[in-house]
Structure formats: structure tokens, C-alpha cells
Structure 1
Amino acid sequence: MNHRQQKKLSRRLFQAIWSSDTGAAKAALRAGAAPERRNDVGTTPLYEASVSGRAEIATLLLVAGAAPDTESAGLGAEGTPLCAAACWGHTATVRTLLAHGANPNLREEHGTGRPPIAWTHDGPHGPHHETAALLTAAGVITAG
């Protein structure tokens, strides 16, 4: 598949995520959209699905080969999918990411930033007690 086709499929995948269209996301992946291909600003599809609370689409991406701990670098979309979902209290998405191997102790910014649990307590959109309990049950070592 050439670069132009892959870019078109990637745009279709991101559109499906933004519109919460699981069927369209599935179709884009079946057609060959790469589950880890970043958009023009560096955001990964899994980060976008996670920050938006699209657990079903996150599952599709993970099953298709997206790595659960890949950091996104998009403008305003920096960080790990797990931190993004935890920040917004998207418990179902956090559960999905953990079930597919996301590290509950992985800090953003390549290990130097905040861990997911910190976002559940004092993020701009918290506190999210149910999400924090889920992360704790998954083996969180530290809140700092």
C-alpha cells in the first residue's frame, strides 16, 4: 500500500474515532489502516480513542496491534493512552488498556512525568475515584 493510501486510511480512522463510529473504525482497520500511524501533528489513534473515552475503538486498535504504552506527541495530546483515559475518568477505557497490557506505573514524558494515578487525583478533570481504584487494583506502586 502506498503512502497516499495509508494516509487516507489513517484520516478515515481518526474521523471514526472523533465521531465514535466503531463500525467505520473497524472498516478502516480491515482496509489496512495502521493502528499506530500518527496523524499530521503526532497524535496516535490509541491516544485519541483513550482521551475521548472510546473503549470499543481502543479495543479494536489494541487487537489490531497498537501498543498500549506508546506515547503520543501531538500538540495538546502528549502522553500515554492510560494517562489520557485516567485524566478524564474514562474507567472503561482504562480497564481496556490494562487488559491489553498497559503499565499502570508508567510515567509520561518517557518516564520522567506523572503516572496515571496522579491524573485521577489532581488532574484538571478529577478526582476520579473509580478510575483510581481500578489502577490501584492493577498494581500501582506510587501516586507521586
Structure 2
Amino acid sequence: MNFKATVLHKTGVPLTVEDVKISVLKPGDVLVRVYASGLCHTDLEVIEGSLPYPLPITLGHEGAGVVESVGPGVERVGVGDHVVCSWNPNCGHCYYCDRDQPILCEPFSANQPLGRLPDGGGRLCLADGGALHHFSVVSSHPSVLRRAGKWCHRGT
């Protein structure tokens, strides 16, 4: 599957919007079509180079959208659900997640600074097949992906 994403190829230069590819979803993966997203100070630090990450990389870790597809074993959300994504992805079952400390999630903490998903891999690549690192990711774990109708005020 192909889609458009903002990509940072080099620090200190503008991001580019380009076609990227996503591989087949793995167990527990949720693909969200993002309709609203934010860039925060952490993203700006990566762009400026004061927070080093492997490049090229996709940025942004605060968003809302609609579930486009789900990997095997995902039961909490389904295709068509409107969701908001937490800034703190976690596995939901490591030592710290089991103790209600998802901010310290071991798989996320070990892999996120390397631009990888908690399982150590990646799902994205550039249109030419080159590596594309992840800045953040969401999971279907309850503390990370929430149905928008339950957690966000919806105005008219």
C-alpha cells in the first residue's frame, strides 16, 4: 500500500511530502488514516538536529483519524472506527506495562530511539524501497488507541 507522508531526510532542512510504502500489517498492528495531526517540540528538536534520530524519518506522534485496516488479533478497534492516538505507544504486557507504568515500556524504550517499532522492525519504506524510520507508532493497546467518541468532545 502507498500513501503520502512528510519525510525528514536531513536535519535543518524542510520536510518533504512524498509517496511511501507500508508493508503488510503484523499481529496487533492498526493502520489509521490520519485526518488531523500535530507536531510538537520533540518533532522540532529532531528537525533541528538537537534530538538525534536515524534519517530519513517520518515525524508526528499526535493524531486522530479513522481505522483503515487491522492486523491479526486486533479486537479493540475495527475498520471505520474514529480514533485518537496517544503520544506514548506501549506494548501493554512488559514488566512496566503490567505495573501501570507504560511510559517506561521496555520494547518501546529500546527501539524508538533507533527509529524502529517495539518489535524491532519497521513497516515503512521510501517509494524507491529505501529504509524509512519511524519516529512513533501506535498500537491497539487500550492506553494508546482510543475511540474518539469516548475520549474526545465532539462539537457540532
TM-score normalised by structure 1 residue count? 0.23
Structure holding more helix per residue: 1
Question: Highest Rg: 1 or 2?
Answer: 2
Instruction: With the length of structure 2 as denominator, give the TM-score of the two structures.
Output: 0.22
